[in-house]
């Protein structure tokens, strides 16, 4: 990490923005124009423990889309992801402690993903989803801090603990298995129904 000091200087802000946009550029294959639209989004930096947010509409004195980026005071921050089964992984209950600069990059990637979902780049929208924002945060941490990534908890594994035996994968397979066995049942029943009908007609 470039720094662990509490102050987020102008230089550090540039680094945070550059790293977040570079990551999303690779992930979504953004062209230069799309990168410029993301870089042009105004960011309102706040040092406080509060929810960050992407605003599509004009508000807070901004003429249009902008990001409210809230980073807690101090040298370290605690990262908590959304709990989304389709993201596969989640931060442990107590969160993961990290330097504020890294935390700010994760929050910015999250909010810029919402910006992409709203179509700020070129009007092409993506479905609004916290699965996508969470997956992007996790993919970024995997790239830049593999040790922190290894501390994430598998949601499949925690599901196995809570409901006794089924993992996420088993759940999916179970659904397929159920569909298959229903099909099998219908296939077995049809000839039997045919025989019954013929027998009834013969007895008439």
Q: Which residues bind Zn ion (CB under 5 A)?
A: 133
> With respect to Zn ion, which residue has the nearer C-beta, 91 or 133?
133
> With respect to Zn ion, which residue has the nearer C-beta, 21 or 54?
54
Q: How far is the CB of 23 from Zn ion (least distance, A)?
A: 16
Q: How far is the CB of 44 from Zn ion (least distance, A)?
A: 16
Quick one: which of 63, 94, 61 has its CA closest to 79? 94
Do residues 108 and 15 lie in contact, with contact meaning Cβ atoms separated by under 8 Å? no
Q: How far is the CB of 38 from Zn ion (least distance, A)?
A: 16
Quick one: which of 68, 71, 80, 32 has its CA closest to 48? 71
For the chain, helix (H) and strand (E) counts, in that order, are 7, 7
Which tokens sit at 107?
């929050």
> With respect to Zn ion, which residue has the nearer C-beta, 6 or 28?
28
Quick one: which of 114, 108, 32 has its CA closest to 71? 108
Q: How far is the CB of 95 from Zn ion (least distance, A)?
A: 16
> With respect to Zn ion, which residue has the nearer C-beta, 34 or 133?
133
Cα separation values, 32 from 8, 111, 121, 133, 172, Å: 27, 20, 10, 22, 40
CA distance 196 to 204: 13
> With respect to Zn ion, which residue has the nearer C-beta, 112 or 121?
112
Give me the residue whose beta carbon is nearest to Zn ion.
133
Q: How far is the CB of 137 from Zn ion (least distance, A)?
A: 10
Residue with tokens 């599509």: 56
């Amino acid at each position: 990490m470039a720094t662990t000091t509490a102050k987020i200087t102008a230089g550090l802000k540039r680094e945070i923005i550059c790293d977040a946009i570079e990551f999303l550029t690779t992930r979504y294959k953004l062209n230069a124009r799309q990168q410029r639209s993301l870089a042009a989004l105004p960011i309102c930096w706040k040092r406080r423990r509060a929810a960050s947010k992407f605003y599509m509409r004009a508000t807070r004195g901004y003429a249009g889309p902008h990001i409210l980026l809230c980073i807690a005071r101090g040298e370290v921050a605690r990262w908590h992801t959304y709990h989304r089964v389709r993201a596969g992984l989640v931060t442990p209950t107590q969160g993961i402690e990290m330097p504020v600069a890294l935390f700010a990059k994760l929050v910015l990637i999250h909010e810029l993903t919402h910006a992409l979902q709203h179509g700020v780049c070129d009007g092409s929208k993506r479905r609004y989803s916290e699965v996508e924002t969470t997956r992007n945060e996790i993919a970024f941490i995997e790239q830049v801090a593999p040790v922190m990534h290894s501390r994430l908890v598998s949601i499949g594994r925690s599901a196995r603990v809570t409901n006794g035996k089924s993992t996420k994968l088993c759940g999916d397979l179970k659904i397929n298995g159920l569909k298959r066995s229903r099909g099998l049942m219908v296939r077995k029943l049809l000839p039997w129904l045919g025989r019954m009908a013929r027998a009834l007609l013969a007895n008439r």
